[in-house]
Structure 1
């Protein structure tokens, strides 16, 4: 195990700010869910529906930001600052285009919200919250783009502080606008949306100012200013980003479509589903942040053609994620009967949550495995197979079983959640297979 120690230290050092920053993102959702849930259960269900509709598009858009990481990381490993500047500028252009496409699609979808088969009582709350989320899309895309520059050049602390600051603003804004404190009107779910919009705009302004004035990134900033957007650079990012986008979209799409399935079960089940998603996203952010550190380290070693270090980095990341799975699972199992009451005063919703905790714990190791090796593939800029794995794992396996377990055999929310371990296990094994095969090809080409 000694051969992994240096990689453990490097991943922990690089990944800890990523974990803290990603937990900050989850805390924003956690705070929204908790604070809306204590306002009314109907608003919690409405927030669940809107959040799961938007997370699909936002994660797909994130694929066009994440594709910048292997390119910037590889260039950083080679000391090629000109390529870094060009990638950032072209990446911002591509992500602006993605934001425009998303806003167009979601604007059309707005006029069909009443056709989704959801409880009619939700629609008065869904519509204003939906519009506010629609307006915030470009700011999310721009923050994601600039974050890749900081992360891929191993400056993970700057985005961490920006995310934490933005989330603190969001929580304060929630308290003021949801419940009507400090002389402001009580706006409920609409106030939560306005608070989130303000936080996202503020985070974009902050990260743009850091890039514009940071001494550490002076060379990259000069390269950014001296280059121009070009079609070939944008085309390369779109080619690399599309498989990542489709992979993330299908992963998220399974959960979003499951929310619609859960909506057919009832309002209490949908509210419980939102709480479960908040808990599972907290777990996932640990795995994802550490796996992002794996992608960064892999991309650096890829630029240096050090394939032994790539292999050890990926396995070190897998070991650490398995340790995280154990640590986060124990308290949730112990307190599973009372967790739901943190978010809602409804005993029925809390009971739904307690039942769904069991399948959540079952798939934690599979989630850590799939997250680590999909990011190792991304660090190698080998992403095309990932979208096929995601389609098979989530659309061919998880979604049909969610319907069978939840609706056909009347398993309710617990049945829907028992579909996830199957898809995540298949995904983890296939991502490892493709990562290992690609690494063998690279090593063979060196010979």
Structure 2
């Protein structure tokens, strides 16, 4: 296996289908926010609160599935299909249990939702949407386990197609149920939640159907249904999954804390925060798509014990990431105000959101760097440092910085977005340092 096999084109070939799938998810997020925002500012603010509150659990749930990538990627480089199938089976039930744990925790949050000191007019909108979102945690876990398997065996096109089909169903459901088109009931934000829930279960059914029906996956199916459970797989999955889950939970938790603080400023800043976060996910999802490819290729190299190749893959991925961060920044600078107007016609929300473009642009390079090297580190399976890096960067430093800039410094919503640069650049430096340390010859 030579270094040239992992050229820029290899990373792009693997990452591009993931990118298309991520862009599809962004478009659904844009459509959701646009349709809900056009319906009412109260619905948009309610969606902002619930989405950001659930970000912690969803990112933790998705992050837990990421523990599969280095394990399957290493087995794939050794052509051990049956072992991959056995590991996938174990991954599904371990992640299913984790998703049920997350569901129980968020159910407890729902019972105490009134303690978040939200405006009274938002609670009747938030409650049903929260419950529907809660029902979607399990399918998110199942789909992402199977998606990580597909990514790790370098079959990235298949999840992309499934995601795009489900996205079309989601948008169509939004159109039918938010305003009650074609004789459907007008359900507002609740309708958007039902459409998303249906799309999530559709993803599970489609990717499961492909796994069960395609001859090319016969070796994996044999291991999935007939191979005995490999000794130590449950422990190994927990060792690689928990740190990544907690890393993503801490990161998303800092954004959730920011959303709560934005809610303290009122419904207009909260709605503007939702808009700017959705716009910012454009950069995040683009960076993640290429970083996911980097993680897969690093894990393949790790399976061969080639540390020099692991560094080469991460370095080339970072060059791609810097180019993407530059493109995202230019898009936000020159077209950000137009994109923001896509989500809301409320002049106050637009005015506040436009003022947040500068701090949004400031953290793009930090975000790109931390995503690239966090995923590269994940590919090595040396994931324990990710836990404390995230805790220090996002909890110990990030959340206090958000509060201090927003309130004592008097910067309000501008300070909240500005604080993201502090935590993201700190995390970026630490992930880079630990990856280089882990791959030292």
State the TM bucket, normalised to the shorter chain.
over 0.9
Matching of residues 270-349 of structure 1 within 5 Å: 270-349=270-349
Which residue does 1:17 correspond to in 2?
17
Structure 2 equivalent of residue 226 of structure 1: 226
CA deviations on 1:22-54 (whole Å, 9 max, x unpaired) are 122222222111110010000000001111111
Structure 1 pair 282/181, CA: closer, same or farther in 2 (3 Å)? same
Change (3 A) 1:229 1:29: farther
CA distance in 1, matches of 2:242, 2:251: 14
SS in 2 for 1:305: coil
Q: 1:253 to 1:4 in 2, by over 3 A?
A: farther
Deviations 1:352-394 (A, max 9, x none): 1111111110111111111111101100001100111111111
What are the Cα deviations for residues 303-329 of structure 1, in whole angstroms up to 9, with x where unaligned? 112222211110000000100011121
CA distance 1:236–1:179, change in 2 (3 Å): same
3-state SS in 2 of match to 1:410: coil
Is 1:264 matched with 2:264? yes
Work out whether residues 70 and 295 of structure 2, in 8 Å CA contact, stay in contact via their aligned partners in 1.
yes
Deviates more, 1:24-33 or 1:271-280: 24-33
| CA–CA separation in structure 1 for the residues paired with 2:293 and 2:6 | 14
CA deviation string 1:209-246 (max 9, x = no partner): 01101222111111111124577321211121111111
Q: CA deviation at 1:417?
A: 0.5
Q: 1:410: how far off?
A: 2.2
What does the per-residue CA deviation read over 1:406-442, in whole Å, with 9 as the maximum and x for residues that have no partner? 12222121110010111111111110100000101xx
Whether 2:160 is the aligned partner of 1:157: answer no
Report 1:228-267 matches (<5 A). 228-229=228-229, 232-267=232-267
* Match of residue 78 from structure 2: 78
Tell me the CA shift for residue 56 of structure 1. 0.7
Equivalence map 1:11-410=2 (5 Å): 11-229=11-229, 232-410=232-410
The SS at the match of 1:38 is helix
Q: 1:201 to 1:409 in 2, by over 3 A?
A: same
Alpha-carbon distance in structure 2 between the residues aligned to 1:311 and 1:408: 43
CA deviation vs aligned residue, 1:266-301 (integer Å, no higher than 9, x gap): 100000111111111111001111001000000011
State the 1:106 CA deviation. 1.3
What is the rounded CA distance, in whole Å, between the counterparts of 1:429 and 1:380 in structure 2? Answer: 18
Q: Take 2:5 and 2:321, find their aligned partners in 1: how far apart are those partners? A: 15
Which secondary structure does the structure 2 equivalent of 1:123 belong to?
helix
Matches of 1:153 and 1:393, distance apart in 2: 32
Which deviates further from its counterpart, 167-176 or 218-227?
218-227
Assess if the C-alpha contact under 8 Å between 1:62 and 1:245 holds in 2. yes
- Gap change, CA 1:356 and 1:231, over 3 Å in 2: farther
**Preserved contact between residue 90 and residue 234 of structure 1 (Cα < 8 Å):** yes
Tell me: CA distance 1:78–1:231, structure 2 relative to 1, closer, same or farther (3 Å): closer
Distance 1:208 1:25, change over 3 A: same
CA shift, 1:6, in A, is 5.3
Cα deviation 1:80-118 (Å, max 9, x = unaligned): 123211210110011110111111111111111110011
- Do the aligned residues in 2 keep the contact of 1:85 with 1:220 (CA within 8 Å)? yes
Give the drift of 1:345. 0.8
Map Cα deviations across residues 178-223 of structure 1 (whole Å, 9 max, x no partner). 0111110111101000100110111110010011012221111111
Please provide the CA RMSD for this pair. Answer: 1.3
**Of 100-109 and 189-198, the range deviating more from structure 2:** 100-109
* Cα offset, 1:396, TM superposition: 1.6
Answer whether contact 2:299 2:379 (CA < 8 A) is retained: yes
What CA distance in whole angstroms lies between the structure 2 residues aligned with 1:299 and 1:231?
A: 21
Deviates most, 17-26 or 88-97:
17-26
Q: In 2, Cα distance between the equivalents of 1:49 and 1:227?
A: 45
Give the length in aligned residue pairs. 439
Equivalent in the alignment of 1:430: 430
Match of 2:420 in 1: 420
| Equivalent residues of 2:19, 2:286 under 8 A apart | yes
Deviation, structure 1 residue 255: 0.3
1:47-68 superposed Cα distances (whole Å, 9 cap, x missing partner)? 0111111111011112221100
Please identify, of 188-197 and 76-85, the stretch whose mean Cα deviation from structure 2 is larger: 76-85
